[in-house]
Amino acid sequence: MQDVIIIEAGRTERHYWLDLWRYRELFRVLAWRDLSVRYKQTVIGVLWALIRPFLTMLVFTVIFGRIAKLPTDGNAPYALLVFAGILPWTLFSTGLSEASNSLINNTSLISKVYFPRLIVPIATVVVAFVDFLISFCILILLIVWYWFLPDWRIIVLPIFVLLAFFASVGPALWITSLNVKYRDFRYVIPFIVQFGLYVSPVGFSSSVVPAQWRLLYSLNPMVGVIDGFRWCILRGQNELYLPGLLASGAVIAFFLWFGVRQFRKTEKSFADLI
Amino acid sequence: MSENAIVVENLSKRYLIGHRLSASGGRFKYTALRDIIGREISNFTRKAADVVRGRQVVQGDEIEEFWALKNVSFEVKQGEVLGIVGRNGAGKSTLLKILSRITEPTEGRISLRGRVSSLLEVGTGFHPELTGRENIFLNGAILGMTQREIRRKFDEIVAFAGVDKFLDTPVKHYSSGMYVRLAFAVAAHLDSDIMIVDEVLAVGDHEFRQKCLAKMNNIASHQGRTVLLVSHDLAAVSEMAIRALLVEGGRVAADGNVADIVSRYLSRDADAIYVRPPGQKSSTPFINRIEVCTSESNAVHRFGEPLEVKIWIQHDAPIEKGCLTLNVHNQHQHAIFDALAHYPYFRFGNSQNKTLLICKLPSPKLYVGKYYLSVHLSEPPGGDLYESLDGVCMFEVTRTDRTSLFPRLSGECAYFEEYYWETADADTTEHYVTHVASHSTLQDVD
């Protein structure tokens, strides 16, 4: 029996999530395309994924650790503390900025071929994830350098990686669908990323934030993620602030739900507007 | 009885378009700064309200509804090849976009039975940085092929495109011909129950076009496959389709045998002057008017007289790299010749916002018969196509300056050639050796 496709006005795709699964191959191919294009025509190629976070770490360690003399968590080396913050932050920020522009970077695809549009932004976040894995090698080197080996807590790390992933996907979906209609939002993203780098505890420990502001501070979803990363990597030198983590998690979940909802709502008109 | 593969019922699609009230004319005859500010504020509040409500934002002062399609209904049987013809802006592409699920209809219902592949463009998603090999896999996946399918057909695709030497070269180094050949080759190896094809035949050189046509024919004649074909190449449509739809102004104007539909489509343009239909807005350069200046009135041209084609182009900004192609087709939809005005060899549209191009043919050799023009305005190959007009400006060539025993029938030949006959002694052997004019007894009387 052949399948019958019905196209109707306002018909919400009942098989949307099934379709998404059916198009997994396209998803893989698009992610692979973005990956292989990323470092073509660069001399040092993949090394970029190592150099950028490494230099950021050096600068932050010097500025926050040496010059501002901010305290580290417990007895963790400051460089390691910074790098444990840079890792999730880069995953979040590259994911967010790449995915936010993904739809308008794929205009020709969207106006000429049908596929569940959700594939495009998520495939670009996967690219950011691969960069993350590459940068992870530096972390391993640092751990060996300082001989600050992680304990059992490292097992929980994948959960926080996933959390960082969702933290970038949610707003990215919302912004990329807005971007299709109003190109203003492409100017917002670099600002958010730059701004976020300083309001998130990337270069410093979140324990420097006064206790009464801690919960409010945790409404920044990256606070929970970065704290979690540090907790896993630095043998729990920082006390995991549970209410803050829950707050961050709730914000991430809200944005994910909101992003997917907005994306699905506007998805059908992408081809007309782009 | 074969089942219907495609059923379209009362399909409509609405777009909102905005108009800008011009400062001179319209309501704002005397423009004061106050008016402009007031207008901008009201526009801004309207846009802001649209943003809040999540509606489409339309630039302009007045918004108009535009129905690209209105109450379109038709059915296609399984295994049938249906051609769709119509002018630019008639709604053909919108129809295909809805059928391929790229955009949603405003009203109506469609049911499609089987796996659908749509080819609205060759080389969708080709990435210039990737190699030919990588692009085959990428493009194949985008068109809906599985990696296994592509791997199986890979050699066939490469052979068809004839690019085996350059498989590992990034496609940005390909010539435009190689690029489209590869793109078409991937598309041509799609295998599905319903194929929706738009304009893809208009690629490559003549030889490759023939190859494409043969392949398309092959695809179309495949058992049980349903094909929807939109093309300006009426020859291709008439060759492949049996039935056709004529789309006009968003409606199905006629539905029937392909030969009837094509002739009906062409007869509507029996006018030596093309004028752009009023109300069509465009931001890119467009063709305002085309005129064939024939030697006689009523679009009749006497052979031997000079012929002129005048093309008025409207453009807001100067055209940086304009390419204009003028094709003359005969009544069998065969292209007879082309006249190119291509950047960088010929530059136009640099100064004002209107350009008049005149193509002068001092002594056209067109044979007796009816002719049509196709005019394409674009960027250099690989760039945007601004406007493409087909089957416009019909004119007729007559030749009355000679007496002949045999009347020259309209469209019998393609063109007149200069020639002369001579007689020679039939007994001398040298003429047999060189095969020159051995039957030269009938002399043409000029």
Compute CA distances B55 → A7, A178, A269, B49, whole Å: 22, 11, 10, 8
B98 at interface of A, judged by CB pairs closer than 8 A: yes
- Mean pLDDT computed over A3-30: 78
Question: Which residues in chain A are closer than 8 Å to B110, comparing Cβ atoms?
Answer: 6-8
Same domain assignment for residues B238 and B279: no
Domain boundary among B235, B267, B299: B267
Same domain assignment for residues B258 and B207: yes
**Confidence label for A1 from pLDDT (cuts 50, 70 and 90):** very low
pLDDT for residue A19 is more than 50: yes
- What integer pLDDT is reported at residue B5 of this predicted model? 85
Residue B72 burial (CB < 10 Å; 0-12/13-18/19+)?
buried
* Amino acid making up residue A26: L
B385 at interface of A, judged by CB pairs closer than 8 A: no
pLDDT for residue A43 is more than 60: yes
Separation between Cα atoms, residue B253 and residue B247, nearest integer Å? 6
Same domain assignment for residues B240 and B140: yes
Domain boundary among B68, B88, B109: B68
Indicate the residue of A5, A182, A273 with minimum beta-carbon distance to B111.
Answer: A5
Does residue A7 sit in helix, strand or coil? strand
How many residues in chain A? 274
- Smallest CA–CA separation between B230 and chain A, in Å? 15
Domain-located, residue B10: no
Same domain assignment for residues B189 and B246: yes
Same domain assignment for residues B281 and B256: no
CATH number of B125's domain? 3.40.50.300
Question: Which residues in chain B are closer than 8 Å to A14, comparing Cβ atoms?
Answer: none
Task: Test B124 with A36 for CB contact under 8 angstroms.
Answer: no
- What integer pLDDT is reported at residue B21 of this predicted model? 53
Domain-located, residue B8: no
CATH number of B388's domain? 2.70.50.60
- What integer pLDDT is reported at residue B393 of this predicted model? 86
Same domain assignment for residues B160 and B194: yes
Q: Which residues contact A242 (CB under 8 A, 6 or more apart)?
A: none
The strand pairing partners of B357, in sequence order, are B311
- Smallest CA–CA separation between B271 and chain A, in Å? 34
Q: For residue range A213-242, list pLDDT tens digits in order.
A: 888 888 999 999 999 999 998 888 887 888
Same domain assignment for residues B216 and B300: no
The residue among B142, B143, B197 with the most chain A CBs within 10 A of its CB, best to mutate, is: B142
Q: For residue range A89-148, list pLDDT tens digits in order.
A: 999 999 999 999 898 888 888 888 888 889 999 999 988 898 899 999 989 999 999 888
Q: Where are the domains of chain A?
A: 16-273
Sheet bearing B62-77, strands edge to edge: A4-8, B107-113, B4-19, B62-77
- What integer pLDDT is reported at residue B26 of this predicted model? 40
Q: Which residue has the higher pLDDT, A57 or B55?
A: A57
Tokens 């609205």 locate to B120
Domain-located, residue B100: yes
- Smallest CA–CA separation between A5 and chain B, in Å? 5
- What integer pLDDT is reported at residue A225 of this predicted model? 92
Query: Containing domain of residue B53, as a range?
Result: 15-68
Same domain assignment for residues B253 and B294: no
Same domain assignment for residues B26 and B105: no
Same domain assignment for residues B232 and B336: no
Q: For chain B, what is the domain count?
A: 3
Q: What is the mean pLDDT of each run of 10 residues along chain B (446 residues)?
A: 79 77 44 68 75 60 78 88 82 86 86 84 83 90 87 90 87 84 84 79 65 74 80 75 87 86 70 74 81 82 88 86 89 85 84 86 88 88 80 82 64 83 75 49 44
The strand pairing partners of B371, in sequence order, are B330, B395
Domain boundary among B267, B288, B312: B267
DSSP letter at A129 equals: H
Domain-located, residue B405: no
Separation between Cα atoms, residue B235 and residue A101, nearest integer Å? 42
- ipTM score of the complex? 0.83
Residue B369's region, left for phi above 0, alpha for psi from -120 to 50, else beta, is left
Separation between Cα atoms, residue A176 and residue A174, nearest integer Å? 6
- What integer pLDDT is reported at residue A168 of this predicted model? 93
Same domain assignment for residues B82 and B221: yes
Same domain assignment for residues B282 and B165: no
Question: Which residues in chain B are closer than 8 Å to A25, comparing Cβ atoms?
Answer: 141, 146-147
Three-state SS across chain B?
CCCEEEEEEEEEEEEEEEECCCCCCCCCCCCCHHHHHHHHHHHHHHHHHHHHHCCCCCCCCEEEEEEEEEEEEEEEECCCEEEEECCCCCCHHHHHHHHCCCCCCCEEEEEEECCEEEECCCCCCCCCCCEHHHHHHHHHHHCCCCHHHHHHHHHHHHHHHCCHHHCCCEHHHCCHHHHHHHHHHHHHCCCCCEEEEECCCCCCCHHHHHHHHHHHHHHHHCCCCEEEEECCCHHHHHHHCCEEEEEECCEEEEEEEHHHHHHHHHHCCCCCEEECCCCCCCCCCEEEEEEEECCCCCCEEECCCCEEEEEEEECCCCCCCCEEEEEEEECCCCEEEEEEEECCCCCCCCCCCEEEEEEEECCCCECCEEEEEEEEEECCCCCCEEEEEEEEEEEEEECCCCCCCCCCCCCCCCECCCCCCCCCCCCCCHHHHHCCCCCCCCCCCC
Q: What are phi and psi of A118, to 5 degrees?
A: -60, -25
